């Protein structure tokens, strides 16, 4: 039963809270970038490290979301036969040069280790300063990605077709010296997983590339509640060293695209660069066919920009570190006793129903402030219990995916099941909302003018624009230069419609997706 009746308790805080909140979080429609930062700050997810250029600190609530992401993905990687391993953080500088495209793609943004020690030196005033010492013979880079170092070990581990496929995944930190950084979306250091596999033939490698793309898409849609489009990247957007790159692309609430995961067909490029040879079934020698695929803490940024609202973070239940926050409302000690009893009961029932639940019994904090905090932390459901609720054997449930005014009155009897039932409902409602938003902002354009107009959308929220393209890098570059939009992908699913390039009029086999992107 949904009602928007004014509650008997906590009226005063409600208006106060809205006031405070309005100050704390910029509206999406006013300044999307600022809204994003505000949601992260108020949700206590992360902060800029400042003292370490372009890096961030992932705070407990943000890290708990990442742990959930890891857990769900890791399960899926293992179910598809992959095993985790760990390779060195440092890569010999010379390794990068072994694959020509790879070094072009990554060299400029590598952190370089040149020395292996420091020395504390005291000046005449007794102040300590630190000098660098022990220059290394060969410099190392901090891994920007691990194809090279893993290629080196694959060459040692693989002799025969019997050793294939070799299916490895690594959870690790990587570093790319970015010029413009943004929390979660683009940071100098980030956390990720990188799958690296080797196969006996190209078909098997390609099947792996597509399998992991499907794993990512399934994860995005069913766990993150983020609808994604699967497609292939154009040559100019490919991973440095790949034969082809596949991706999942999601739409953020400003209509921009976020590349959320990539899966690369590396062909024999790294196999040849690192001499990863094997004896085939018929006794010949060949280089292995490799793949790599990865997602990163960037996903947390995508999660935020897909679901959150002007009141702060909104989390899909499948990734929420806390599913239910129970907030007591009372004045006297007698009220407190019975309200706390009921809160405890709800907490136990929620935990028994398999949910993570917090009973917020903090002293010296008003119910309004508690509500406010759990709302900004994106907890899918808050439960509010006052003395009259207890008397009536009920509690009040507020869903984070609905307006703060919408309240559900629920009997305490069976509240665990009620809460458990709400989770898939909320999960679905978030997905449906995101899907409806994306559908509403996906349009076709059949001329260059129409493309440009469609990209802008209403001036605040842009669109994904399906348009024909002649397949050349020149056309792609010109459109990018003039519109700031890139080809996000050549979708795997399409209706087979052929046409003419919006810019050059040359023939096109299918529509591709143009959009501005993060």
Residues near a copy of itself (CB under 8 A): 49, 51-52, 55-60, 63-64, 66-67, 83-97, 100, 103-104, 107-120, 128-130, 132, 134, 139-142, 149, 152-153, 162, 168, 172-173, 175, 177, 189, 191, 364
Copy the structure tokens of residue 388. 């009259």
Pairing mode of beta strands 112-122, 128-142: antiparallel
Judged by beta carbon, residue 172 or residue 465, the one nearer a copy of itself is 172
Judged by beta carbon, residue 191 or residue 243, the one nearer a copy of itself is 191
| Nearest-approach distance from CB 98 to a copy of itself, in angstroms | 9
| Nearest-approach distance from CB 163 to a copy of itself, in angstroms | 12
Judged by beta carbon, residue 11 or residue 362, the one nearer a copy of itself is 362
Rg of the Cα atoms in the chain: 26
What's the CA gap between 364 and 384, in Å, rounded?
A: 17
Among 24, 20, 4, residue whose Cα is nearest residue 12: 20
Copy the structure tokens of residue 266. 């590396």
| Nearest-approach distance from CB 59 to a copy of itself, in angstroms | 6
What's the CA gap between 487 and 455, in Å, rounded?
A: 12
Copy the structure tokens of residue 382. 């808050």
SS3 at position 104: helix
| Nearest-approach distance from CB 518 to a copy of itself, in angstroms | 21
DSSP 394-436: EEEEEETTS-TT-EEEEESTTHHHHHHHHHHHHHHHHHHHHHH
Residue 120: how many CA atoms within 13 Å on its side-chain side? 4
Q: How far apart are the first and last CA of the chain?
A: 41
| Nearest-approach distance from CB 63 to a copy of itself, in angstroms | 5
Judged by beta carbon, residue 49 or residue 402, the one nearer a copy of itself is 49
| Nearest-approach distance from CB 119 to a copy of itself, in angstroms | 6
Judged by beta carbon, residue 1 or residue 120, the one nearer a copy of itself is 120
| Nearest-approach distance from CB 193 to a copy of itself, in angstroms | 13
Which ranges constitute the DSSP H helices of 274-332? 298-307
Judged by beta carbon, residue 20 or residue 49, the one nearer a copy of itself is 49
| Nearest-approach distance from CB 39 to a copy of itself, in angstroms | 18
Judged by beta carbon, residue 52 or residue 492, the one nearer a copy of itself is 52
Buried b (16+ CB within 10 A) or exposed e, 205-216: bbebbbbbbbbb
DSSP 212-279: HHHHHHHHHHHTS---EEEEE--GGGS-TT-SEEEEEEEE-TTS-EEEEEEEEEEETHHHHHTT-EEE
Counted residue by residue, the chain has a size of: 518
| Nearest-approach distance from CB 282 to a copy of itself, in angstroms | 16
Judged by beta carbon, residue 36 or residue 66, the one nearer a copy of itself is 66
| Nearest-approach distance from CB 302 to a copy of itself, in angstroms | 18
Judged by beta carbon, residue 54 or residue 312, the one nearer a copy of itself is 54
| Nearest-approach distance from CB 125 to a copy of itself, in angstroms | 14
Among all chains, which residue has been given the structure tokens 């018929």?
282
Judged by beta carbon, residue 21 or residue 89, the one nearer a copy of itself is 89
In contact, 294 and 195? CB cutoff 8 Å = yes
Judged by beta carbon, residue 139 or residue 335, the one nearer a copy of itself is 139
Among all chains, which residue has been given the structure tokens 């700031």?
484
In contact, 106 and 176? CB cutoff 8 Å = yes
Among all chains, which residue has been given the structure tokens 């800029």?
48
- Is the CA virtual torsion 70, 72, 73, 74 positive or negative? positive
What's the CA gap between 169 and 457, in Å, rounded?
A: 40
């Amino acid at each position: 039963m949904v009602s928007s009746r004014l509650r008997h308790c906590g009226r005063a805080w409600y208006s106060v809270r809205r006031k405070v909140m309005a100050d704390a979080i910029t509206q999406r429609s006013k300044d999307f970038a600022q809204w994003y930062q505000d949601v992260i700050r108020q949700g206590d997810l992360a902060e800029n490290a400042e003292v370490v250029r372009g890096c961030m600190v992932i705070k407990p609530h943000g890290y708990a979301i990442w742990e959930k992401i890891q857990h769900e993905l890791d399960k899926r990687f293992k179910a598809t036969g992959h095993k985790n391993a760990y390779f060195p953080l440092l890569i010999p500088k010379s390794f990068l040069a072994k694959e020509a495209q790879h070094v072009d793609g990554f060299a400029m943004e590598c952190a370089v280790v040149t020395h292996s020690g420091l020395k504390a030196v005291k000046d005449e005033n007794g102040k300590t300063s630190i000098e660098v010492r022990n220059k290394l013979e060969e410099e190392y880079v901090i891994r920007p990605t691990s194809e090279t170092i893993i290629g080196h070990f694959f060459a040692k581990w693989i002799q025969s077709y019997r050793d294939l496929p070799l299916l490895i995944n690594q959870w690790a930190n990587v570093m790319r010296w970015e010029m413009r950084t943004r929390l979660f979306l683009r940071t100098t250091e980030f956390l990720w997983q990188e799958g690296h596999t080797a196969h006996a033939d190209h078909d098997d490698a390609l099947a792996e590339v597509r399998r992991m793309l499907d794993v990512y898409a399934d994860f995005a849609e069913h766990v993150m509640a983020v609808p994604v489009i699967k497609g292939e990247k154009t040559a100019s957007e490919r991973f440095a060293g790949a034969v082809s790159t596949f991706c999942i692309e999601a739409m953020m609430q400003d209509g921009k695209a976020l590349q959320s995961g990539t899966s690369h067909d590396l062909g024999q490029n790294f196999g040849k660069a690192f001499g990863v040879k094997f004896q085939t079934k018929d006794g010949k020698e060949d280089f292995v066919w490799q793949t790599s695929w990865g997602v990163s803490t960037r996903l947390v940024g995508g999660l935020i920009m897909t679901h959150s609202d002007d009141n702060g973070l909104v989390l899909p239940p499948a990734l929420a570190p806390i599913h239910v926050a129970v907030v007591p409302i009372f004045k006297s000690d007698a009220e407190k006793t019975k309200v706390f009893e009921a809160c405890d009961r709800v907490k136990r029932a929620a935990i028994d129903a398999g949910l993570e639940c917090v009973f917020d019994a903090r002293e010296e904090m008003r119910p309004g402030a508690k509500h406010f905090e759990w709302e900004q932390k994106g907890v899918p459901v808050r439960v509010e219990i006052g003395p009259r609720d207890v008397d009536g054997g009920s509690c009040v449930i507020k869903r984070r995916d609905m307006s703060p005014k919408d309240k559900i009155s629920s009997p305490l009897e069976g509240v665990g099941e009620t809460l458990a039932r709400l989770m898939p409902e909320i999960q679905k409602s978030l997905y449906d909302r995101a899907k409806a938003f994306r559908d509403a902002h996906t349009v076709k354009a059949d001329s260059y003018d129409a493309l440009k107009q469609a990209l802008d959308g209403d001036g605040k929220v842009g669109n994904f624009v399906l348009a024909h393209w002649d397949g050349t890098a020149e056309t792609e570059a010109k459109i990018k230069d003039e519109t700031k939009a890139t080809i996000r992908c050549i979708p795997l699913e399409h209706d087979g419609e052929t046409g003419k390039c919006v810019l050059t009029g040359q023939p096109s086999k299918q529509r591709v997706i143009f959009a501005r992107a993060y």
